[in-house]
Structure 1
Amino acid sequence: MAGSGQKLWTKGFVLAIITNLFLSMVFYLLMTSMALYAVEEFAASDSAGGFASGSFVIGALLARVFAGKFLDFVGRRRLLIVSLAVFVVAALLYIPADSLALLLTVRIIHGAAFGAASTSLSASVMGLIPINRRGEGTGYFGISTTLATAVGPFLAVMLVDSVSYRALFLVTTACAAVALVLSLVLRLPERTPTPEEQKNKWRMHLTDIIDPGALSIASVMFIAGAAYAGVLSFLNSYAQSEGLVLGASLFFVVYAAVVLVSRLFVGRIQDRHGDNAVIYPTLVSFAAGLALLAYAPNNAVLAVAGIFLGFGFGALMPCAQAIAVSMAPAHRIGLATSTFFILMDAGIGVGPLLLGMLLPVTGYHGMYWVLAAVVLASTVLYHFVHGRKNVRPGTPVDPKLGVPAA
């Protein structure tokens, strides 16, 4: 585990950031185009097209359940390389997949490989970050995902409109291959399971799948993920119905820029002043951004909403991940990481389904007002599950309970 005297910007840390960039690029290249591809290529219904997009998340969730448990038994670097090899093959299989059933199969396999690889990489990179700079380091690592959020959807639209879906799948495969090549030269800190862990290797109690220490902050991220899904899944449709297409385009540019800037300083504030100094402001900012989307009378207001959502959800995610890892003892960091992403991914996966049922009742404006209220209310949840402790990253953790040591 990284110590307080260790450097942050090492070769391994930089390679991990770049690997995560290409890993995340694949996710965003396909997530924004797969529903339309299923409808156009296989005459799928809108709901089936949505499932073609979301089935990737289902595969990722299944893989995270087991990756967190067996990460240190398999070996972190070994799991990363093997899962990325499957990731490359699955990316290439989109081209010959000639039916909706085959497409869904590829999506689930591809998602599972993504879930295993991202869990291994996200958990392992924590060992490359000094404990007293965990908030800052996690924020820098998350910048790679932010860049993918900005570049991936834009590149996907350009490739599909100007070239073809085949070109999109080839670019996706190339990105996956780059991640695989980088993983071959990336050295990750390994941890040998204790005799007690070896003894319970095949035990699958709930605590072997979900880390209780990470569950508290992960529950907040479940709500945040569901709310963010309302932006990812419905903003373009909302903008078209309201004649605010320009505002929607500006929104994503502004969002990515604010996330990029915020991650340069929010982690430092968390390390110096504690978790509450960043989590409360980001949740309030997130709610304000959703309220602006609900109000949005013109393109300018829609674009401004990107500022609040960028500082809200964009800065919230790495800070919350740092909390999840800090609440776990060293031997459960992999499990804490998978717990964090399982709940956040579940929120992103379930969100569109629930919001799709809400839309006929509330309309787009009402839906975003509801989401703004729910996110604002999540500050109360955060207070009770973690905020009242105001724990700083690096606080000693009880190795058995996974909570701050007295």
Structure 2
Amino acid sequence: MKNQGIFNISFLFLFISNFLVFIGFEMLLPILPAYLLSMNASSIQVGLVTSLFTIGAVLIRPFVGYYLIDNQRKSLAICASAALMIITILYPYLNIIWLILLLRLFHGAAWGVSTTANSTIVVDLIPKTRLGEGIGYFSISTTVGAIVAPSIGILIYDSFSFDILIWSSAVLSLLAVILLQFVYSHNNVKRKKKPFRFLDMIYEKDVWFPALLTVITTLGFGAIITFLVLFGKQKEIDHIFLFFLINATVSTLLRPFTGKWYDKKGPWSIIIISAMLGFLSLFILSYTTNDIQLIIAAILFGAGYGTVMPCLQTWTVQKVREEKRGAANATFFSSFDVGVGISAFVLGILAEWISLEMIFRFVSLSFIVVAVLVYKDYINKSKA
């Protein structure tokens, strides 16, 4: 791009569109299980609400990554946001639980297309010399959107109705479609590409290392979203929402600094230091009994986890050629989904045997593993 600035019109419209998509999708997450329970769904069926959307997202991303190699990315993003709107509107009209679960699979697929396409477009819009900084800024739309959306969804559902929640989500998707019309996305050059192989596309081999780090890092995030509210009730901490609010605020405020740090120094030092902050956050959280300790843990988690994830995404797309950025982004987001899934499953089993305090201490070690692996990679690169 001729303009070496990050905040051009296309970036801003894509940022807002992605923010609306995240709010519209994530605001349904805490409500759909309760909605199915009101329909007398079994515990297995309620669990499938999350599992099926994850499966749909992971399975579709290899196809999206392959498509994005030489096809128009903007049109795919628009179609995905439109699909999210249409699928959302259908929920109140389905009175059979298994039809809702099937719809959830397609909802996850549309989500997988949207997140991959948007993240690939934004990489095209950011100057290569400022990629870390630019992705750091853009990831604010996902971080803040994902954190505020559940509270908005619960508020609308409790104050109004499920139907109002659904239409609110659909309107946000519609606005996202409109905003995407103003995003410039260059036409991809038609390239000769290998025949599609699902197993090859679900895992982009050139980015295996940051993908592995993403899975390990996400274990800590999975512990937070799965057990923090329950932990707060056990410890009688009334303002547990402060953790999510402060985490989002700190990670957002640090993005300009951490993004520039990444672009100047590379991924190694910033990821190692941020991972250690993530370790301290979960370790302190495990001993938390009051709001002050909760705030300290939240600040450290925002600085740690909130910095590591955009750095890993930047590292992922930097490891591939331009035409493979879609596949790289697909691998990154699939690694995130796998990490959350593994965390919920494994830690859910462990929670039957050990306390939540021990859960947080145990999963804090995942950040130590990330720091050690990145340091080892730095040493190997230095020798090479």
TM-score by length of 2: 0.94
Q: Is the 8 A contact 1:60 1:112 kept in 2?
A: yes
CA distance in 2: counterparts of 1:26 and 1:386, whole angstroms: 40
Q: Classify 1:27/1:304 alpha carbon distance in 2 versus 1 (closer, same or farther; 3 Å).
A: farther
Question: Structure 2 CA distance, aligned partners of 1:225 and 1:290?
Answer: 13
8 Å CA contact 2:61, 2:112 repeated in 1: yes
1:187-245: CA deviations, max 9, x gaps? 213322323x1xx2x33164333222222111111011222111112111111122113
SS of the counterpart of 2:174? helix
Give me the whole-angstrom Cα distance separating, in 2, the residues matched to 1:69 and 1:119: 11
Q: Which amino acid aligns with 2:362?
A: V
Residue 209 (structure 1) aligned with residue 206 (structure 2)? no
Are residues 277 and 378 of structure 1, via their aligned partners in 2, closer, same or farther at CA, if it must alter by over 3 Å? Answer: closer
Superposed CA offset, 1:53-85 (max 9, x none): 332222111111211111134421221122222
Other-structure match for 1:179: 176
Q: Within 5 Å, which residues of 2 pair with 1:281-360?
A: 281-360=273-352
What's the secondary structure of 1:245's corresponding residue? coil
* Contact in 2 for aligned 1:23/1:175 (Cα 8 Å): yes
Aligned counterparts, 1:390-401, within 5 A: none
Alpha-carbon separation, structure 1, partners of 2:251 and 2:150 = 16
Q: CA deviation at 1:142?
A: 0.8
Determine the C-alpha separation between the residues in 2 that align with 1:192 and 1:58: 31
Q: Which amino acid aligns with 1:362?
A: I
The alignment of Structure 1 onto Structure 2 pairs a total of residues equal to: 383
How far apart are the structure 2 equivalents of 1:234 and 1:265?
31
- 1:161 is aligned to 2:153: no
Alignment of 1:7-406 (within 5 A): 7-39=5-37, 41-195=38-192, 197=193, 200=194, 202-204=195-197, 206-246=199-239, 248-385=240-377, 388-389=380-381
Deviation at 1:30, TM superposition (A): 1.6
How many Å separate the matches in 2 of 1:76 and 1:251? 36
Tell me how far 1:264 sits from its aligned partner. Answer: 2.3
Deviation at 1:13, TM superposition (A): 0.9
The residue identity in structure 2 corresponding to 1:142 is: S
Counterpart CA distance in 2 for 1:49 and 1:245 is: 27
**TM-score if structure 1 supplies the norm length?**
0.89
Say if 1:386 and 1:358 are closer, same or farther in 2 by CA, change over 3 A: farther
Task: Work out whether residues 294 and 368 of structure 1, in 8 Å CA contact, stay in contact via their aligned partners in 2.
Answer: yes
Aligned-partner Cα distance in 2 for 1:245–1:58: 35
SS in 1 for 2:372: helix
* 2: CA distance, partners of 1:24 / 1:340: 17
Amino acid at match of 2:186: P
Q: What amino acid is the match of 2:124?
A: G
Q: Cα offset for 1:16?
A: 1.1
Q: Distance in 2 between matches of 1:259 and 1:209?
A: 29
- 1:134·1:271 contact (CA, 8 Å) conserved in 2? yes
Distance 1:109 1:35, change over 3 A: same
Q: Which runs of 5+ in 2 are unaligned?
A: none
- 1: CA distance, partners of 2:242 / 2:167: 28
Displacement of 1:385 in angstroms is: 4.7
1:158-206 CA-to-partner distances (Å, cap 9, x unmatched) read: 11221122221111111111111112232213322323x1xx2x33164
* Cα deviation, residue 112, structure 1: 0.6
Measured after TM superposition, the shift of residue 344 of structure 1 is: 1.1
Q: Aligned partners of 1:189, 1:355: CA distance in 2, in Å? A: 44
Structure-2 separation of matches of 1:20 and 1:304: 30
- 2-structure distance, mates of 1:222, 1:162: 37
RMSD after superposition: 1.9
Unaligned runs of 5+ in 1: 391-405
Same amino acid, percent of matched pairs: 27
